[in-house]
């Protein structure tokens, strides 16, 4: 036993002097996270100096994962002027990219559309990924416009319904909804780009180009820029 301790002491004394900080904290689900980068914000966190850290493997915080649906996400996010990263974050939290997911409340597919929402946005088969993403992104665009591009309110309405956002005038005081909004906003851009839309209208029988930072209520349009 003494010999083992002596060998261990010698090894430590000869270890490479390089050191790094390892940070740890509990996430919103109570799981322990280890990272070689500090957590943003002022939340409780513990840090350790690790000798010879080149041989230590640290786990980085969870990031938005890519998936086989990325091309579809980019197409529909671009069509509606919504951040593709925001859409990915919503899908990750809603269904973990499971296209046949069904919630206890009846929400379906990748973006967990409720039956009434699926019907409203023309989604015939909510378990078909492209249809689901198309309807989900269109609904998210509607909520962003409704709440003046305030992502937190749009996400709260997506999770808890617009009625609850209207009732409280803010993110509702529901733990599930507050955690939902926090998870997504921590892993997605703070705001979508300000998209410029163009479409044609008939004025006195002549086609006239219209431009706006909001898409028309109906009909075809083009995205001509972002700023």
Does residue 94 carry a catalytic annotation? yes
Q: What is the C-alpha end-to-end distance of the chain, expressed in Å? A: 68
Residue for token digits 């509702």? 172
**What span, in angstroms and rounded, lies between the C-alpha atoms of 79 and 71?**
12
Task: Out of 37, 94, 120, 186, pick the active-site residue.
Answer: 94
Classify the phi-psi angles of 192: left when phi > 0, otherwise alpha if psi is within -120 to 50, otherwise beta.
beta
What six digits make up the tokens of 3?
Answer: 């010999």
The interaxial angle of helices 129-146 and 84-95, nearest 10 deg, is 110
**What span, in angstroms and rounded, lies between the C-alpha atoms of 201 and 157?**
32
Which residues are part of the catalytic machinery? 94
């Amino acid at each position: 036993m003494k010999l083992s301790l002596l060998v261990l002491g010698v090894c430590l004394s000869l270890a490479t002097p390089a050191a790094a900080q390892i940070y740890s904290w509990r996430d919103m689900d109570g799981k322990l996270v280890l990272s070689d980068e500090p957590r943003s914000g002022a939340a409780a966190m513990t840090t350790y100096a690790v000798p010879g850290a080149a041989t230590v493997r640290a786990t980085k915080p969870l990031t938005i994962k890519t998936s086989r649906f990325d091309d579809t996400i980019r197409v529909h996010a671009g069509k509606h002027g919504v951040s593709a990263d925001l859409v990915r974050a919503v899908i990750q939290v809603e269904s973990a990219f499971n296209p046949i997911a069904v919630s206890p409340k009846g929400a379906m597919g990748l973006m967990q559309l409720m039956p009434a929402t699926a019907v409203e946005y023309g989604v015939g088969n909510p378990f078909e990924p492209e249809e689901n993403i198309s309807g989900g992104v269109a609904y998210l665009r509607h909520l962003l416009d409704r709440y003046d591009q305030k992502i937190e309110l749009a996400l709260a309405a997506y999770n808890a319904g617009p009625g609850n956002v209207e009732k409280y005038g803010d993110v509702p005081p529901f733990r599930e909804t507050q955690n939902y909004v926090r998870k997504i906003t921590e892993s997605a851009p703070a705001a979508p780009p300000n998209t410029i839309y163009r479409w044609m209208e008939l004025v006195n029988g002549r086609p006239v180009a219209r431009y706006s930072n909001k898409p028309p209520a109906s009909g075809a349009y083009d995205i001509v820029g972002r700023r």
